[in-house]
Amino acid sequence: MNLYTALYCQQVKLQTIFPYKFTSTMLTCLVTSLQSMVIGLFIDTSKASWRLGWNLQLITIVYSGALATAATLCLIAPVIQLRGPTYPPMFNPLALIFTAFFEALLFGEAITLGR
């Protein structure tokens, strides 16, 4: 299953019970970071691989966390609230297929053409 599929469907459910978009985005990123850290610890336990320095690796991590994930989620959250989970992935065809399928499965939405 595509990661964004679960994220978009989760955002719809989350916004109905927890209307604070930016706080929910921060909490989503925090929980995801913790899960990634636990998985990373199981995959690579050497201390050298976990050491960060002021280099391109640190810049890449900060960029991907702050801009590529957090900013994207903050920009997509209002769109998901207005249009539903199938609108944002329209610019990524594979994500659109998965999201439409799981939206129909989880929310009972009809799959239609031209909507």
Q: What residue segments make up the domains of the chain, in order of their start?
A: 3-40+52-107
What is the value of pTM for the model shown?
A: 0.57
The distance in angstroms from the start CA to the end CA of the chain is: 23
* Burial class for 7, CB neighbours closer than 10 Å (0-12, 13-18, 19+): buried
- Each of the 115 residues of the chain gets a pLDDT tens digit; together they read 456 667 777 777 887 888 887 788 788 778 888 998 899 999 988 888 888 788 888 888 787 777 777 777 777 778 777 887 777 766 666 666 777 777 788 778 888 776 5
CB atoms within 10 A of CB 14: 19
